Chain A
């Protein structure tokens, strides 16, 4: 009896050990094969497939994280929170992000007379880029050209279709068609094909506007005939693919050609000089009659003025850091704020506790926000000053100058305001631009004082 019991235990023990050893062996085998085969070709991907779900069959980890851009999470100064929205015929969304116009009504004054003063919500993740553009109230206020799709949809296949294989020709054609007529030709927000070559998976630029813009920038550095897809380094590409859209831009001429104003450089004041030379305006300000500009989202330009760019860090290093999946290293395609992923985004380089890193970033953003508020108050003050001269039939030279100063002050301020990092990408540069904006207001207010003096003397 006793012997039987021991045998029982021995067999049972041997069985358990066998299970554990086999499980370990299989685990080791899996890790080894993961390392050998970073992906399995389940489907053939060609240059004519833009559906990310199909690419996702070969690259399930990248695709899974890409889908997570639908998550809505806040940081102290950015990100987005989900707000319920009652669906209507015009706007069937059941969730939207915060209305920034209500959070800071000064925005309505700055953009008076422009579509942005009607609807300006917190930016959401890439998953929403297309729906949020289709259903913004701005579509109902102003007629938008097809050019807008360049950055809000996966347009690569549409370029090829409209240009008979020539993406630059297709890009030009798309801009000429009204938004409402062309939006049905696209299906997806930014997709794999917009940044990756399907045959090698290496990064590529698909947006002609960026090819042309970066050529101008490189020319200033003495590099002639720059072809971004042939001459850019791997690390450069890890920022350039983002720079295809996260930039300041304008629609050139009747053809509405998407153009990046980089002819004089990437800095806000250089861009403003460029606009000045071209006499470009976005609209006439409803409160002051000044011709003004709307800055867009110049993350690429601003980041390039900062210390991280100087150190050779790319957008992807912080916004899409590597994650480990088993034995594989996978780029996290959930593009998001590094503040939501501090250990992988920051600690790869900064050997500092997470809480300390978060505090550093928020200190920069706190200071930035307080300076931004000072500059914003100054700008709004100035717009209120100019209001009384709005209806001048024959504006004097002084008034024209004062209006031009509003244009400059407003563009400089808006450049910083529209940039998505709340000052983090280049804190000193953002402060310099805000200081410059305040300086323009100060110069303008001197002119307003002389205009008022003249008015009083005239009476």
Chain B
């Protein structure tokens, strides 16, 4: 073996180590679970424990899981928002620099509001959902605060 190919081998080994370590971290942190709709994936991050506990006692427990309200209902939007939120959450939790109590971001709130309509549209379509004075969309959660989980 020439000198050059020995070095090449070393680099390949190094990359193998990195990939192996990366894969192990992914498995150890249950990274694969984030591809699923299982609510347990959300409590991989300990911060969501209260939300999970109260969701289990909530009115929507039998009909909607975390992803049903917090992600768009089309395949592209769903994984785009999942990726974005996943990134934000992991950065926030690793750096420990998030606001307490946790506040929902504006774009996520929009997703949640439209999720309400996905199921309840037939019931509420006759309602005028726009407050013309303030140019604000009516917010289901303004009154129905506890339907999903306590904040």
Contact = CB atoms under 8 A, between A and B. Distances in A.
Interface in B78-128: 93-94, 96, 99-101
B140 interface: no
A323 B21 CA distance: 33
Contacts of A344: 100-101
A326 interface: yes
Nearest to A17: B18
A31 B93 contact: yes
Contact of B46 (A17, A21, A35, A348): A35
B25 interface: yes
A351 interface: yes
Contact of B25 (A10, A28, A343): A28
A327 interface: yes
B151 interface: yes
Interface residues of B, number: 25
A29 B29 CA distance: 8
Given A18-B18, A327-B46, A343-B100, A24 B25 contact: yes
A326 B96 CA distance: 7
B94 A22 contact: no
Nearest to B95: A27
Interface residues of A, number: 27
Nearest to A4: B7
B11 A25 contact: no
A7 interface: yes
Nearest to A349: B151
A324 B100 contact: yes
Main secondary structure of the interface of B (DSSP, over half): helix
Interface in A18-52: 18, 21-22, 24-25, 27-29, 31, 34-35
B145 A351 contact: yes
A400 interface: no
B141 to A, nearest CB: 9
Interface in B11-58: 11, 14-15, 17-18, 21-22, 24-25, 28-29, 46-47
Contact of B99 (A10, A28, A343): A343
B15 A14 contact: yes
A359 interface: no
Given A25-B21, A343-B101, A11 B14 contact: yes
Contacts of B7: 7
A323 B14 CA distance: 42
Given A11-B11, A14-B14, A18-B21, A24 B100 contact: no
A347 interface: yes
A32 B10 CA distance: 34
Contacts of B94: 24, 27
Contact of B47 (A10, A15, A18, A324): A324
Nearest to B141: A351
Given A14-B11, A344-B100, A21 B22 contact: yes
Nearest to A348: B101
Counting chain A CB atoms within 10 Å of each CB, which of B4, B14, B17 scores highest? B14
Nearest to B151: A351
Contacts of B25: 21, 24-25, 28
B28 A28 contact: yes
A432 to B, nearest CB: 31
Contact of B11 (A10, A34, A343): A10
Nearest to A18: B18
A351 B10 CA distance: 57
B11 A347 contact: no
A263 to B, nearest CB: 39
Given A18-B18, A25-B29, A351-B151, 12 more contacts: A7-B8, A11-B10, A17-B18, A24-B25, A24-B94, A25-B24, A25-B25, A28-B29, A343-B101, A347-B101, A348-B101, A351-B145
25 contacts: A3-B4, A10-B15, A11-B11, A11-B14, A14-B14, A14-B15, A14-B17, A15-B14, A17-B18, A17-B22, A18-B21, A21-B21, A21-B25, A25-B24, A25-B29, A27-B94, A29-B28, A31-B93, A34-B46, A326-B96, A327-B46, A343-B101, A348-B151, A351-B145, A351-B151
A-B interface, 5 closest residue pairs, ranked by CB to CB distance from nearest = A327-B46, A25-B25, A14-B14, A28-B29, A35-B46
